[in-house]
Amino acid sequence: MQPVDFTTLTAICSDIRSRWIPARVEQVYQRDVHTIFIALRTLKGRGWLTICWHPQAARICLGSPPPRDRDTFTFSDQLRHQLNKLALTAIAPVSTWERVIDLQFAQRPDDPPLWHLYVEVMGKYSNAILTDGRDRIVTVAHQVSAKQSRVRTVQTGQPYELPPSLLGDTPNLEESRERWQERVSLVPGAIAKQLVKIYRGLSPTLANSIAEAAGIEPSRSTEDLSDRAWESLFQCWQEWLEAIATGNFTPGWTEKGYTVLPWGSIEPEPNVQVLLDRYYSEGWNRQQFQQLHHQIAQKLKNIGKKLGQKAQGFRDRLAQSEDAEIYRTRGDLLMAYLHQWQPGMKSIALADFETGEPVKIPLNPEKNAVQNAQTLYKKHQKLKRAREAIAPLLEEVETEIQYLEQVEEALNQLDRDRGEEDLQALKEIRDELVQQGYLEARKGETSKGRDRPKESQPHCYQTPSGFEVWIGRNNRQNDRLSFNIAGDYDLWFHAQEIAGSHVLLRLKPGTVAEETDLQFAADLAAYYSRGRQSDRVPVVYTRPKFVYKPKGAKPGIAIYKREQVVWGRSQKAKEYVKIHQ
């Protein structure tokens, strides 16, 4: 994700000062180990200040309200205790061209600050530090010991010290073009890299934007620039410094991210806070989705591989147990022809009872015929007992494989992030796997230790006659659709003997589904199943009252009766879904 640089941070703070100072602190909430939310109240309204020190998404901005999960973090608990009901009286940079912001809190707007919350927006070194009025650290989001850093430690109880100063010259609006050009071109190199190297406060993204706004390729060498190019570049440089000095920013979206300057914007955004909140919220959700999807997919792959090997082992042992009758027959033959046995024999050929064909029986030369027959009978009993014991174990493993295939199919349907709804559906899959013991719960997260989040909603489409078709995104939704939502007049669809979503065709009392409606629902059931790559997939449908959940069955597993079969056209549904997503 695009990092918040000094220019963006200046734009954010300028906007907060103009609209949210002073404001009373009403609530503090911590979403995760990297993000807190502070509820601010002014005479004009209420908003949530987001402060994040994530290495890839460090920022401060007004944003959306936090989720309703229970907060169990110590850092936010300290902030609540110290800042609750105080006023945010100032937000100011602590040093020129540094990405460190001082949020000051006091009883009243004109009082000296009782607390300082220093927010350091510096990539992987980002942090949030609360100090008292004398700048002594009370609590810190991420403590840094001497073992972790030889340059600067950050721990409770010690005085707050600023991060080491940046190298480079300080940009100055009064600097002449000649002096500026001399500094930038002293050592030849790519123009964008030279700007970042020589001056403070520039990020690579900003340096590239300045060069591109001047019509210059950022990688172009300073030795190749004409006087006209230098003039255009300096003009853009001055425009940047003017925006910093006046606080006149132009937030908007670019092809690669966002900007707060008037260059490269393809879609303006009226508010820098909305810009930043949307960009990082969507980026955070996308990153969470990708990481969680990969984690679950890998776990299912590993578990499936182990279960497959386990099932194959049971099948091999069952195949061996099929030979049990052979050993019993050999024992009977040996007992029937005891007179043909002679001491020291290693094998004996005896005529089969039914076919008369000779049957060669291996013998232990140290045992007599009766003892050899007893060995064969024992082998027969052992294999027979093994078959009786292994058959239910194989059935149990195959049921587990079937369940995991159902989970995997739900995961495959969530092949890419399309918004918060898909992320929530993915989290429900993770929670289900945690409850079933396939995944470990994250630290500090238990079903009793947090509020239940808002449930994701199923897919919803309309048939040609205007009826709704609801499709489960995961096993939790499948169970809810089949056993809680489904009404007496609805129809329940599912791909026949294939892992897939539960599908409901919602019908009002007195209405009858046309053939086109049934085909439409069957097409969607085929598409949202493991057979979606096939042109035609058998789909069963029945009334919801004929759909049952076996006792002790895992989520998403159901059995049915009185079903009818229709062929679903998954490729037909694929075209429809693509248009309506």
Identify the bridge partners of residue 29 per DSSP, sorted by sequence position: 37
**High-pLDDT (> 70) share of the chain, %:** 97
Asked whether the predicted pLDDT for residue 581 surpasses 90, the reply is no
The pLDDT, as a whole number, for residue 438 is: 92
Q: Burial letters for 130-144: b for 16+ Cβ neighbours within 10 Å, e otherwise?
A: bbeeeeebbbbbbee
Asked whether the predicted pLDDT for residue 445 surpasses 60, the reply is no
Cα angle, residue 26 at apex, residues 20 and 32 outer, rounded to 5°: 95
Whole-prediction pTM value?
0.74
| 379 or 38: which leads in pLDDT | 38
Do 177-270 and 6-140 have the same topology in CATH? no
Segment 157-179, tens digit of pLDDT: 999 999 988 888 899 999 999 99
The pLDDT, as a whole number, for residue 450 is: 46
Q: Are 503 and 471 in contact (CB under 8 A)?
A: yes
Cα angle, residue 394 at apex, residues 329 and 311 outer, rounded to 5°: 105
Asked whether the predicted pLDDT for residue 447 surpasses 50, the reply is no
Domain 6-140: which CATH number of 3.30.360.10, 3.30.70.2740, 2.30.310.10, 3.30.565.10: 2.30.310.10
DSSP at 544: G
The pLDDT, as a whole number, for residue 164 is: 87
Q: Are 82 and 138 in contact (CB under 8 A)?
A: yes
Segment 252-293, tens digit of pLDDT: 999 889 999 988 888 999 899 999 999 998 888 888 899 999
Euclidean distance between CA atoms 54 and 506, whole angstroms: 45
Residue type (1 letter), 462: Q
Q: Are 155 and 63 in contact (CB under 8 A)?
A: no
CB-CB neighbours of 37 under 10 Å: 23
Domain-wise residue ranges, the chain: 6-140, 177-270, 315-452, 459-580
358 vs 201, 334, 361, CA distance in Å? 95, 12, 10
Q: In what order do the strands lie in the sheet with 258-259?
A: 258-259, 252-253, 267-268
Question: What number of H helices and E strands is found in the chain?
Answer: 13, 22
Q: Burial letters for 93-107: b for 16+ Cβ neighbours within 10 Å, e otherwise?
A: ebeebbbbbbbbbbe
* Range 177-270 has CATH code 2.30.30: no
Q: Please tell me whether residue 48 adopts helix, strand or coil conformation.
A: strand
| Ramachandran category for residue 428: left, alpha or beta (phi over 0 → left; psi -120 to 50 → alpha) | alpha
The pLDDT, as a whole number, for residue 448 is: 45
HEC string for 287-335: HHHHHHHHHHHHHHHHHHHHHHHHHHHHHHHHHHHCCHHHHHHHHHHHH
Euclidean distance between CA atoms 530 and 405, whole angstroms: 9
Please compute the mean of the pLDDT values over residues 420-441 and round it to a whole number.
90
DSSP at 565: E
Q: Strand 468-471 relative to strand 503-506: parallel, antiparallel, unpaired?
A: antiparallel
CB-CB neighbours of 38 under 10 Å: 25
Please compute the mean of the pLDDT values over residues 322-339 and round it to a whole number.
86
| Max Cα-Cα span within the chain | 120
The pLDDT, as a whole number, for residue 234 is: 95
Mean pLDDT over each residue of the chain, to the nearest integer: 91
The pLDDT, as a whole number, for residue 451 is: 47
Euclidean distance between CA atoms 351 and 550, whole angstroms: 51
Asked whether the predicted pLDDT for residue 302 surpasses 90, the reply is yes
Euclidean distance between CA atoms 472 and 458, whole angstroms: 5
- Name which of 307-311, 439-443, 515-519, 536-540 the model is least confident about: 439-443
69 vs 314, 444, 447, 453, CA distance in Å? 44, 11, 11, 7
Alpha-carbon torsion, ordered 536, 538, 541, 546, to 10 deg: -160
CB-CB neighbours of 42 under 10 Å: 15
pLDDT band per the 50, 70, 90 thresholds, residue 443: low
The pLDDT, as a whole number, for residue 452 is: 52
Asked whether the predicted pLDDT for residue 446 surpasses 70, the reply is no
Q: The tokens of 277 are what?
A: 């909140």
The pLDDT, as a whole number, for residue 321 is: 77
The pLDDT, as a whole number, for residue 518 is: 96
Integer-rounded Cα radius of gyration of the chain: 36
Q: Strand 358-362 relative to strand 459-462: parallel, antiparallel, unpaired?
A: unpaired
Asked whether the predicted pLDDT for residue 206 surpasses 80, the reply is yes
Instruction: Classify residue 513 as exposed, middle or buried by CB count within 10 Å of its CB (0-12, 13-18, 19+).
Output: buried
pLDDT band per the 50, 70, 90 thresholds, residue 417: low
Euclidean distance between CA atoms 486 and 456, whole angstroms: 17
Please compute the mean of the pLDDT values over residues 302-311 and round it to a whole number.
94
Instruction: Classify residue 372 as exposed, middle or buried by CB count within 10 Å of its CB (0-12, 13-18, 19+).
Output: buried
Please compute the mean of the pLDDT values over residues 406-417 and round it to a whole number.
86
